Amino acid sequence: MNGGSILEGSDIQVRRGGRLILDVPSLAIAAGEVLSVIGPNGAGKTTLLQALSALLRLNRGEIRFRGARIGVDITPLNYRRQLAMVFQEALLFDATVTANVAAGLRLRGTDAGEVKRIVAAKLEQFGIGSLNDRSAKTLSGGEAQRTSLARAFAIGPQILFLDEPFAALDPPTRESLIEDLSRILRASGATAIMATHDQGEALRLSDRIAVMHEGRIAQIGPPAEVMNHPVDEFVAAFVGVETILPGRVVKCERGTVTVAITDNTASPASYNSRGNPGVILSGTGREKTAGEAPGERSLDSLSSDGMAIPPLTTGGRIDGDGYCLGEEAAGIGGMHRPAAVYLEAAGEAKTGEEVFCCIRPEHVTLARDLPPGRTSARNSFPAVIARIIPAGPFYKLYLDGGLPLAAYITVQSLEELGLRTGMTVTASFKATSVHLIRRG
Amino acid sequence: MEIILAGIKQALSLLISFDPEVLAITWLSLKVSGTATLISLFIGIGIGTAVALSSFPGRQIVVSIINTGMALPPVVVGLFVTIFLWRNGPFGYLEILYTPAAIIIAQAIIATPIVMGITLAAMQQLPRKLRLQILALGATRFQMVWLLIKEARLSLMAAVMAGFGGVISEVGASIMVGGNIKGYTRVLTTATVMETSRGNFDLAIALGVILLLFAFAINLVLTRIQQRERPR
């Protein structure tokens, strides 16, 4: 156990109707840390929060608050008086805003003068000072959630539990509330554990992110680690790696792994639990053709817009003899489907190992009139733009370059390059942008 | 029509003249039904809340029994209270049959399931997570229950109105266990029945009108409180 932990859980198990719905062998949360718990609906996020806040009975395991065992060394009531919880619904009392913010303090029997002083400060801190006499039932969603947060902070919690607190708010309200909460959390130094299904919220607020799946913590770590180095296929799909391709390691040399994509028809959607649309395949890619010797490269001659497609530029020679020689190639949309595609990834792996190659859309760059090979990126190849979808300040482009690929580009880039559906571009990404996950 | 108009006239004159007998009957009705309603609130809100907040095997059966109790026939209640309080009955030694206390017991039995059922529904309508929110705010179990009752107060006001309305207008049980003894157990409903059976329609109508005014005034006060509490 971590000596600096404010909260530690070990061997936590919760069952409902005989079914194990939470199984966390070990979890330690440092004082002042902001931990986000992300995962799809039913993953166990809320159950974990309720278990850690002593709001539900554990079937097994124990939770320690500052080293004291809850239910043994400290009563659940005394423990709960050290924390606060904010739910997705504001859950305000049928009373004025002031009475709501004062509720936790009054339950603790705090002196009336002190209550008045703290409540006034919290109302101002959350920008709801003008609403003090309003009935809580007449507040808008954002005002109600601000009141709920003010009520939580009023008791000066050592740990703040946030159960999808922004999920029911419209985007502008959510944005301003996240901004304020982030500022107040940092200023107060409170430890916070937040369940959310929004990775943006998690990234903005958290020191660490825990990804939950089927009642278990699939991965926990700093945001960059979880986002860029998912430990398994589920985490990769959930954290938004758009392109996840199964492959087999065919070569490892000087920290570079060459992977033969074994199913280059696999669309992101087929692995993505969030149901993002898949890539429509219709183009060319790097392939091994009949008569080609190991280590040689091949190319399709022309793209759909007549642009000459130069050879793909994956690094190193491809050794081995397991290549399809075109007999597995399939025509899609009247175009040629390559039999095998190779990617280079940075890292270590064993030849013959089955892996998933994960590529984030923000790591893919696009260029026009740039022959593949004129870039330091180890993976560069022509690709046809299959779909262009607006995604907030960006465009998300689905590409077919012999493998399905998604890329984010800015509005300016899209306009300056004059990109449109059906156009062939050069898609590039570095070997370090390909994250490998061992299969099985 | 003339009979009705004459009855209304007589009701007004009885009220204006503060007829001692009518005042006594009205006061007894208020005392008996008010006490029965208070008892039913105490038991009904307590049990209704407990059932709403707990889960146990057979809970659905208990809820069904409570809901059935909301339509408990007063004469059946009157019958069983009479049997229990009868000289040779289990509680005969109390010697309270044909007393206001017996009417209070019978009316409380009638009103309790009504209050209990409405309380149960009101508590179940509160967001489930509100309980967790209150506990997470640092409340003890007792504080949690009290806050939940406060949250459901507008619905519970309806329970008061329904409970009181149910017993003030009830006649079967009151006449069976009270005996309609003049100056002792005669309440507005039993007096109305008696005057009707005697053919004194004007007096019966007068008592009926007083009963209506009485029920209306009580409900008006409660409704005003309820509406004032409602957020605008």
Tell me the per-residue pLDDT of A66-98, one tens digit each, with 9 for 90 and over. Answer: 999 999 999 999 999 999 999 999 999 999 999
Looking at A197, A228, A259, which one is the last position of a domain?
A228
Q: Could you tell me which residues come within 8 angstroms of residue A76 by beta carbon, excluding any fewer than 6 positions away?
A: A54, A70
Give me the domain span that covers residue A260: 233-438
> β-strands A19-30, A5-16: how paired?
antiparallel
Residues A64 and A158 in one domain: yes
- Taking a C-beta distance cutoff of 8 angstroms, is the pair A161, A149 a contact? no
Structure tokens at A436: 């490998």
Lowest average pLDDT, out of A108-112, A302-306, B84-88, goes to A302-306
* Chain B residues near residue A91 by CB distance under 8 angstroms: 127, 129-130, 133
Task: Mark yes or no for CB contact A161/B137 under 8 Å.
Answer: no
Residues A315 and A169 in one domain: no
Min CA distance, B140 vs chain A (Å)? 7
Looking at A177, A196, A228, which one is the last position of a domain?
A228
Residues A81 and A193 in one domain: yes
Residues A218 and A237 in one domain: no
Residue A336 is predicted with a pLDDT of 46
Residues A217 and A254 in one domain: no
Give the CATH number for residue A106.
3.40.50.300
Structure tokens at A214: 């089927």
Residues A215 and A275 in one domain: no
Tell me the per-residue pLDDT of B77-134, one tens digit each, with 9 for 90 and over. Answer: 999 999 999 999 999 999 999 999 999 999 999 999 999 999 999 999 999 899 999 9
Tell me the per-residue pLDDT of B23-69, one tens digit each, with 9 for 90 and over. Answer: 899 899 999 999 999 999 999 999 999 999 998 999 999 999 999 99
Residue A67 is predicted with a pLDDT of 93
Min CA distance, B144 vs chain A (Å)? 10
Interchain contact B220–A (C-beta under 8 A) = no
Interchain contact A103–B (C-beta under 8 A) = yes
**Mean pLDDT of the residues in chain B:** 90
Total tally of structural domains belonging to chain A: 2
Q: What is the ipTM of this complex?
A: 0.79
Residue A266 is predicted with a pLDDT of 52
Residues A128 and A272 in one domain: no
Lowest average pLDDT, out of A144-148, A251-255, A308-312, A386-390, goes to A308-312
Residues A54 and A182 in one domain: yes
Residues A77 and A156 in one domain: yes
Instruction: List beta partners, residue A409.
Output: A395
Sheet arrangement for strand A68-69: A19-30, A5-16, A60-65, A68-69
Looking at A228, A244, A270, which one is the last position of a domain?
A228
* Beta carbon pairs, A and B, within 8 Å: 53
Residues A262 and A386 in one domain: yes
Task: Mark yes or no for CB contact B137/A155 under 8 Å.
Answer: yes
Residues A430 and A340 in one domain: yes
Residues A264 and A154 in one domain: no
Task: Mark yes or no for CB contact B138/A107 under 8 Å.
Answer: yes
Nearest to residue A309, comparing CAs of A380, A241, A247, A252?
Answer: A380
Entry pTM: 0.72
Residue A372 is predicted with a pLDDT of 63
